[in-house]
Structure 1
Amino acid sequence: MANNAMALDSIFHALADPTRRAVIQRLGRGPATVGELAEPFDMALPSFMKHVGILERTGLIRSRKSGRIRTCTLEQKNLAAAERWFADQRATWASRYQNLDGLLEKLTGEDRGS
């Protein structure tokens, strides 16, 4: 459980930055070179590469180098861990809301019966 929590912490940390979220979003359409990924951002390539490094260490993306070209791909398996966490949270809250709805129906039904 602690390993899973640490993995989620690093994933959410990586996704906390808008540049890294944009990179993930772009890679959702398919592989791209670092140059293609960096193009929309007003930053030097070394600064952009720090973002790529964080995403790679987190396991959200993978890159491979062929000559001078580095191509990045999305690692959907690791992104799925965050999706599962959100799904679990939605299920928990949906259950709580259903319980609250049931209680409210019971209370309002008792008020009408009095």
Structure 2
Amino acid sequence: MVSNDELNVPQEDLVQAWQQTLPERLHGGDQAEIMLDEADPNALRVHIRTAGHQMMEFDFAVRYVDSREIAIQLTDVERDGQTIDERGEIVQELIADYRRHLHETAQALHHYTHS
């Protein structure tokens, strides 16, 4: 199903909205940084640092398929600054958790992105 429901929000405004909304959905102490994707005006780059002793960092590309739906791609996982294999069970659980938080953030911003 193809949608003609395009995203019509300036990318800088979208970054700001995500920067305000995503941290509310993360676990206490986790930190998120939202950046523009300069190659794609409908996409954002999301960098999440886990709280606690794990010292893990996750990078996601979040692309708006239309004004409501996002596609998420994991681009990197690091521990102590070193890229790690993301196939481990604990890492997979964290990835699933963060993907859910990204979808929740997009849902929370429907009023903003879907005009």
- TM-score (ref. length: structure 2): 0.29
Of Structure 1 and Structure 2, the greater helix share is in 1
Of Structure 1 and Structure 2, the greater strand share is in 2
- TM-score (ref. length: structure 1): 0.29
Q: In terms of Rg, which structure is larger?
A: 1
